[in-house]
Amino acid sequence: MQLVERAECRISYSGKGLHWDDLDEDISVEGLIAGRGDMTQHHSRVA
């Protein structure tokens, strides 16, 4: 995500997060504070 893309966000309709239309991405304020990344992909653990 480029700096200019990050700047183009809006508050989500719920008021509990941020949304980027061009990137089709959402993050909740709770997730942002907790430092959580992309939760849409499941990463398998390697033993």
pLDDT in tens, the chain (47 residues): 678 887 888 998 889 998 888 888 888 888 888 887 666 665 555 45
Query: What integer pLDDT is reported at residue 6 of this predicted model?
Result: 77
pTM of the model: 0.59
SS3 (DSSP) at 45: coil
What residue type is assigned to position 20 of the chain? W
**Cβ atoms of 18 and 26 closer than 8 Å:** yes
Which are the contacts of 45, defined by CB distance < 8 A and separation ≥ 6? none
Q: What is the 3-state secondary structure (H, E, C) of 2-44?
A: CHHHHHCCEECCCCCEEEECCCCEEEEHHHHHHCCCCCCCCCC
